[in-house]
């Protein structure tokens, strides 16, 4: 209750927040900025973004090579990278790695 007897309506939710960035992005962009940015955009549109929604997540913010992603549960957040078609293959093919 607020002072004066007014009730305040609260909405609470439990969420898992995942923060990621591309390992070595500055080095890669320094070597070939256009190609690195094109690869990152392609990976996001073709693989990363579609699988986030499949695992009940949403992108809260993008920061260059990083992302803040909200999932409805810790289980969804943990399953997300494992549910995408082999992250090792992605990392090898793109020359990029996420952490």
* CA distance readout (Å), 63 to 18, 55, 60, 67, 82: 13, 21, 10, 6, 23
Judge whether 37 lies within some domain: yes
Identify the pLDDT of residue 69.
Answer: 95
Residue 14 Cα to chain centre, angstroms: 18
Identify the pLDDT of residue 1.
Answer: 53
Which structural domain range is residue 27 located in?
16-98
- Rounded Cα distance between 21 and 96, Å, is 10
Judge whether 8 lies within some domain: no
Q: How many domains does the chain have?
A: 1
Q: What is the pLDDT of residues 44-77, one digit of tens each?
A: 888 888 889 999 999 999 988 899 999 999 999 9
Q: What is the pLDDT of residues 20-43, one digit of tens each?
A: 888 888 999 999 999 999 988 988
């Amino acid at each position: 209750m607020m002072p004066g007897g007014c009730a305040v309506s609260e909405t609470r939710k439990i969420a898992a927040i995942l923060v990621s960035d591309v390992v070595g992005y500055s080095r890669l962009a320094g070597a070939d900025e256009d190609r690195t940015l094109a690869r990152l955009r392609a990976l996001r549109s073709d693989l990363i973004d579609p699988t986030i929604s499949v695992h009940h997540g949403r992108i809260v913010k993008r920061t260059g090579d990083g992302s803040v992603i909200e999932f409805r549960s810790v289980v969804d957040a943990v399953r997300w990278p494992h549910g995408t078609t082999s992250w090792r293959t992605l990392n090898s093919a793109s020359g990029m790695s996420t952490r």
